[in-house]
């Protein structure tokens, strides 16, 4: 896959706890210059949408642990959409899933999906889940009519794996995120069934891709 084919499949990401406005600006400029999308903190969405109207902008909801009250998650998603976000990446409540409250997990996600007219990706945090729990998380995302499932936030250890992408792609399109730092790793995820890559190393990935 060459650079022009790969670029629109990458969400160039900056979401760390010390992320500054200048970090966000750098990522926006790199994405615009290279044809990528971005995934940025919620506070930065409105300015980014105004300054880069042609860019696909994703932001996060309930980040990074997914433990916000469901009303807060819904409100956060609506505010992000109104600010100009094109996509939302919401963190599933892992604690509720592990407690077996799958109906509540799905209902929370469904509320958010119903509240916004833009795609919602569900971050299931694979590093914290058993295979059975991963399948239940994906099923909850399906029940909520989410657009995609995403492997991880990048802040709970682990990250995207080929095995997880293969499993998750049985349910919904997959965004492989967490630890994907090279062209070879990105291609392995895409070949496993991923349809999007989330990475802070988007530029480096593209620089290694064939022209």
Helix (H) or strand (E) holding 123: strand 120-123
Structure tokens belonging to residue 128: 């914290």
Residue 129, CA distances (Å) to 126, 138, 155, 197 in order: 5, 11, 14, 20
> Rounded to an integer, what distance in angstroms lies between the CA atom of residue 159 and that of residue 141?
19
Q: Tell me, rounded to whole angstroms, the distance of Cα 10 from its chain centroid.
A: 10
> Rounded to an integer, what distance in angstroms lies between the CA atom of residue 53 and that of residue 76?
21
- Among residues 89, 121, 134, 164, the one annotated as catalytic is 89
Active site residue 175: yes
Active site residue 101: no
Q: Residue-wise over 47-86: b if at least 16 C-beta within 10 A, else e? A: bbeeebeebbbbbbbbbbebebebeebbebbebbbebbbb
- Among residues 73, 121, 134, 150, the one annotated as catalytic is 150
- Among residues 73, 121, 134, 175, the one annotated as catalytic is 175
Residues in contact with 154: Cβ distance below 8 Å, sequence separation at least 6, in sequence order: 13, 15, 177, 178, 179, 198
DSSP-derived secondary structure letter, 116: -
Active site residue 121: no
Q: What positions carry a catalytic annotation?
A: 89, 150, 175
């Amino acid at each position: 896959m060459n650079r022009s084919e790969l670029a629109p499949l990458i969400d160039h990401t900056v979401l760390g706890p010390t992320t500054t406005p200048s970090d966000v600006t750098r990522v926006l400029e790199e994405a615009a210059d290279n044809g990528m999308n971005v995934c940025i903190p919620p506070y930065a969405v409105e300015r980014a949408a105004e300054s880069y109207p042609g860019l696909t902008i994703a932001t996060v909801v309930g980040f990074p642990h997914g433990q916000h009250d469901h009303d807060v998650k819904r409100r956060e998603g609506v505010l992000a959409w109104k600010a100009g976000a094109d996509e939302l990446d919401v963190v599933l409540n892992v604690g509720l899933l592990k407690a077996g409250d799958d109906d509540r997990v799905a209902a929370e996600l469904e509320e958010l999906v119903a509240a916004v007219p833009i795609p919602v990706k569900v971050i299931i945090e694979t590093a914290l889940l058993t295979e059975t729990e991963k399948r239940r998380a994906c099923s909850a995302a399906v029940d909520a009519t989410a657009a995609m499932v995403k492997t991880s936030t990048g802040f709970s250890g682990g990250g995207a794996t080929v095995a997880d992408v293969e499993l998750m792609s049985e349910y919904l399109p997959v965004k492989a995120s967490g630890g994907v730092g090279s062209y070879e790793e990105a291609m392995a995820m895409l070949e496993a069934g991923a349809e999007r890559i989330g990475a802070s190393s988007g530029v480096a990935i593209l620089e290694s891709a064939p022209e």
